[in-house]
Structure 1
Amino acid sequence: MTLHCSPEPVEALLARWRIESREPICAYVYDLDALQRHVRWMREALPHGCELYYAAKANPEAPVLRTLAPWVDGFEAASGGELRWLHEQQPAHPLLFGGPGKLDSELVLAAALPDCTLHVESLGELARLAAIADGLDRNVPVFLRMNIAVPGIGDTRLMMGGKPTPFGMDEQDLPQAVAMLREHPRLRLEGFHFHLMSHQRDARMQLDLVRAYLDVANRWKAAYGLDFAVVNAGGGFGVDYADPSASFDWLGFCTGLRGVLDRHANGLRLRFEPGRYVSVACGWYAMEVLDIKRNHGEWFAVARGGTHHFRTPPAQGHDHPFRILRGNHAPLIEHERVTLVGQLCTPKDVLARAQPVEALAPGDCLLFPLAGAYAWNISHQNFLMHPAPRMAFLQAESMAEEVCYVRAGGPNQLGRTAASPSSLPSPTQAT
C-alpha cells in the first residue's frame, strides 16, 4: 500500500463549491476515510509486541484525531498547548509529552493528567520534574530520551540525534539520571526514548536503528539493574513528495521487524510515534487561479492562497506535485511551463517552479496532494492577514451517509451537514 488518496471525492466537492459561491476557492480538504484505511493498514502490519502512537504535531485537527483514535494506542504531544488539546479531544487515550524546553507549568500539567508519560530530555528537566512529583505526591511515569551514536548508520537532512543536538541526554549523563530516579521513587522509569532521524526513507537503515536501540536498552537494563518494559523508537518515517511510491516501505519494515524482535527484544516492547507518514496522504490544498501572466519570458499562475497556508513546499525545498481541475474558461496557455505562486508580497511565495501544464486558465483549481501533515499547522498563517482557507473533512460514516465538516478559524470550530451518498453534502460555514 502506497501513500495515495483518490482525488475524486475532493474534486467533486470543489465542483460543488464553484456552483454555490462566487468567491475563488482556497481550501483544505481532508479525506477521513482514506486516513482510516491507511492507519488501519499500518496498525495491522505491525507485529505483536509493538505499539503505535500518533505524533499530533503533524496534524492535530479534531476530526483527524477522532479518525485515528480506534487504531492507535495513544497520542504524542510536543508542547503544553498540544497536551491540553489532546487531553480535551481524546481524554480516554494515553498521552506522551516530549520536546526540549518544557515549562514547569507544563510539567505540572503532565504530572497531573491521569495517563500521561513524560519524555525527559535533560538532567535539569529530570530534577525539576522530581521536585514537582514530590510536591504533588504523585507517581509520574517517565522515559529518558537518549542521544546515542550508532556506528555505521548514515544520516538524513533532519538529524535529531547521533551528533550534538538539543534533543535527549548524552550517555555519559545516564549514571546521574539513574541515581536521581532512585532518589525520587515518585518518578517511575517506563523505558528509554530514541529518535535519531526524521525523513528516514530507508527501511533497512531503520531496522538497524531499532536493533541498536534494543541492544543498548538491554545493556543498560543489565548494567544498572533497571526495571522497564518499553523502548520508544520514535517516528521519522520519510515521505517522498515527488514520488510517493518511493516513500518509506512500512510493510517491508514491519516484515523485517519480526526478526529483530525475536532476536533482540528480550521481552521489551517497541513503541513507535509517527506523524507525517500517518496523515500526509489524507489532505489536499486547493487554490483557484486568479491570474496568469508572462514576466521576463516565464509564465506565472497567481492563485488564491499561498505558502502562508501551505508552507510545506518551501519547508521541504521541493516543487510540490499538483493536479489541475479545469473550470469553464478556454485555456489562456497550453503546453507551457508555469510557476505556481500565491498572493503574498514576497518572491518566496512559490509552491512549484516551471512545471509543465497542458492547459490553464483563470478559474481553474490547483489541487496539491500530500497536504495532510506539517502543512496548515506549520504555516505563517497571519502574514498579510489574508483570510484562513476553508476546511472540509469528508467521511462516509455508513453506506447511507456522507458527512462533510467545514470550519474557518481555530480548532474545534466545526459545522456538520449530512446527505445521501448520491450527492456530496452542502457544506455549512461554522461560526
Structure 2
Amino acid sequence: MSITFTGQKQEIARIADVIRERKQQQNGPFCAYLHNMTALRKQTADRVRSLPEFCKLFYAIKANSEETILRALASIVNGFEVASLGEVVKVRQVSPDIPILFGGPGKTEAELEGALLHNVQLIHAESVHELNKLNAIAGRYGRTASVLLRINLKGPLPKATLAMGGRPTQFGIDESQLPQVMEHIKELPHIRVEGFHFHSLSNNLDAAQHVQLVQYYCVIARQWAEEYGLELRYLNAGGGLGVNYSELEQQFDWSLFVNGLEQEVVKEKSDGLTILFECGRYITASTGYYAAEVLDIKRNHGKSYVIVRGGTHHFRLPVSWQHSHPFELVPIDDWPHSYERPSLTQAAITVVGQLCTPKDILAQDVEVAQVRVGDVLLFEFAGAYGWAISHHDFLSHPHPEHIYLE
C-alpha cells in the first residue's frame, strides 16, 4: 500500500525533470514545494478502501492544511481532524458538511462555540473545565454537544518519536481521574459522551505494535463503557502511524496493520463501535518534496557546507525533529557565468539555509559524489509538517513556490 523504494526513485526522476524545466523558465534561484497530487489521491484512496468496515480514516490537517491538499482529499477521506477554529474554517471553506473531529488542549469559548455553529461532529474534551465551558455554550443554543473524552492512559505504551500519553503531558484527562469525571458529567445535561479518544504517541514505525496498541484501546474502552453505563459509539485511536525518514525503503507496513485490524482488533471491539484514525503525516508526507537550489559551497574549520536558497524558515521539520533529512541531488548542467563554478566531489556535506543562525540545518555530514553551485537538492517525504510548521517570514526572505503536479 505504501510507495515502494523503486517507485519513489522513478518519481524523483519525474520531479527532477519538472525542476529542470521550471528552472529554465526563471532567472532567480529555484526554491519550491512540489506535490504529486495524483499519487496523493491514489495512495489515500487505497488506504481508505483497504480499512475494515468498522474503521474510518480522517485527515489531520495540521500536517498540511493548504487548500489544494484539502480539496484533493475531501472526497476521499471520511473526514478531517482539526485543532483550532481557524482549521475548522479552512475545512468549511472546502466542504460545508464533511465530518470534522476537533481536538487539542486549551480550546477557547469562541472555538467551542464555533465548533457547534460549524456542526463539528465530535469534540475531543481535554479537561473538566473544557466540559463545563462546552456544556454552558451548548445550553445557550439549546443543543447537545457530542464529545469523546481524551484520556491520558497510564500505559505502558510503545516507544515513538513523540509521546502524548503514558507520561505527564498537557494532553487529555489523567486516567486516574476518570471516575470523578464520569460522575461530574451526570450534572452536564448538554454533553453527550460518545466514546473515548486515545492519541497517545506519534510516528510509530512498528505496525504489529500499533495493532496491539489499538487492541488495548478497545479493551479498556469496553471495560469503561460497561463500568459507567456508556453507549460506546466511537473510539478515536489517534494517528501516530510513522514515516521513516532515515531509511526510506523501510516504511510502516500498512498491509500488516490492516490485516491486524481485521483479524485481531475485531475480537476486542464492542458491537457497533466505529474506530477512528486521524492521520496527517502518514497521508501527505511521501507525496511532497522541498527543492532548494545550491547558492554557495564553503569549507569552515574542516567541515564542508552547502548553502541553499531557503532553509528551516521554509522547511522546519529537520531542525524540529533534530534529524538529517533525506535528499536527492538534481544536477543542473547549465552554468551561464564567466566565473568559476564552486563544487565538491566525494565529500561529506552539511546542508544549511540562509538564516542568521547556526541551527538552520537541513542535513548533516551526508556523503555525496558531487555537488555544484546551481544544482538543486530535492528533499523527500516533505509533504507533512514542512511549510505548515515553519516560521515563514523570519528575515523576510521570499517564500518558496508551491507546485501541484497532476
The CA distance in 2 between the partners of 1:76 and 1:106, in whole Å, is 14
Aligned to 2:363: 352
Q: Is the 8 A contact 2:232 2:270 kept in 1?
A: no
Residues 1:262 and 2:263 aligned together: no
Question: How far is the alpha carbon of 1:50 from its aligned partner?
Answer: 0.4
Aligned to 1:163: 167
Residues 1:272 and 2:277 aligned together: yes
Aligned to 2:100: 95
Aligned to 1:419: none
Aligned to 1:378: 389
Question: How far is the alpha carbon of 1:331 from its aligned partner?
Answer: 7.1
The CA distance in 2 between the partners of 1:157 and 1:40, in whole Å, is 27
The CA distance in 2 between the partners of 1:336 and 1:170, in whole Å, is 51
The equivalences for 1:33-182 within 5 A come to 33-151=38-156, 153-182=157-186
Mean CA deviation greater in 110-119 or 96-105: 110-119
Question: How far is the alpha carbon of 1:92 from its aligned partner?
Answer: 2.4
* SS in structure 2 of the partner of residue 214 of structure 1: helix
Matching residue within 352, 368, 376 for 1:365 = 376
Q: Is the 8 A contact 2:297 2:342 kept in 1?
A: no
* SS in structure 2 of the partner of residue 246 of structure 1: coil
Residues 1:199 and 2:203 aligned together: yes
The CA distance in 2 between the partners of 1:266 and 1:295, in whole Å, is 62
Q: Is the 8 A contact 2:222 2:232 kept in 1?
A: no
Q: Is the 8 A contact 1:127 1:180 kept in 2?
A: no
The equivalences for 1:219-258 within 5 A come to 219-258=223-262
Q: Is the 8 A contact 1:307 1:351 kept in 2?
A: yes
Question: How far is the alpha carbon of 1:101 from its aligned partner?
Answer: 0.5
Paired AA for residue 363 in structure 2 = A
The CA distance in 2 between the partners of 1:3 and 1:14, in whole Å, is 21
Q: Is the 8 A contact 2:84 2:102 kept in 1?
A: yes
Paired AA for residue 166 in structure 2 = G
Question: How far is the alpha carbon of 1:269 from its aligned partner?
Answer: 1.6
* Identity value in percent: 43
The CA distance in 2 between the partners of 1:88 and 1:117, in whole Å, is 19
Paired AA for residue 302 in structure 1 = I
Question: Is there any run of 5+ residues in structure 2 with no aligned partner, and where?
Answer: 336-340
The CA distance in 1 between the partners of 2:184 and 2:154, in whole Å, is 24
Paired AA for residue 216 in structure 2 = A
TM-superposition CA deviations, 1:57-90 (whole Å, max 9, x none): 0001111111212221100001121111112222
Question: How far is the alpha carbon of 1:262 from its aligned partner?
Answer: 2.9
Q: Give the TM-score normalised by structure 1.
A: 0.88
Paired AA for residue 364 in structure 1 = D
Question: Is there any run of 5+ residues in structure 1 with no aligned partner, and where?
Answer: 396-431
Superposition misfits of 4+ residues, deviation over 6 angstroms: none
The CA distance in 2 between the partners of 1:228 and 1:311, in whole Å, is 39
Question: How far is the alpha carbon of 1:24 from its aligned partner?
Answer: 0.5
Q: Give the TM-score normalised by structure 2.
A: 0.93
Q: Is the 8 A contact 1:126 1:177 kept in 2?
A: no
TM-superposition CA deviations, 1:16-64 (whole Å, max 9, x none): 2211111100110111111112112211221121011010000011111
For the aligned residue pairs, the C-alpha RMSD in angstroms reads 1.6
Question: How far is the alpha carbon of 1:172 from its aligned partner?
Answer: 3.1
Paired AA for residue 224 in structure 2 = W
Q: Is the 8 A contact 1:150 1:209 kept in 2?
A: no
Q: Is the 8 A contact 1:288 1:303 kept in 2?
A: yes
Question: How far is the alpha carbon of 1:10 from its aligned partner?
Answer: 2.1
Residues 1:319 and 2:330 aligned together: no
Equivalent pairs counted in the alignment come to 394
The CA distance in 1 between the partners of 2:254 and 2:228, in whole Å, is 34
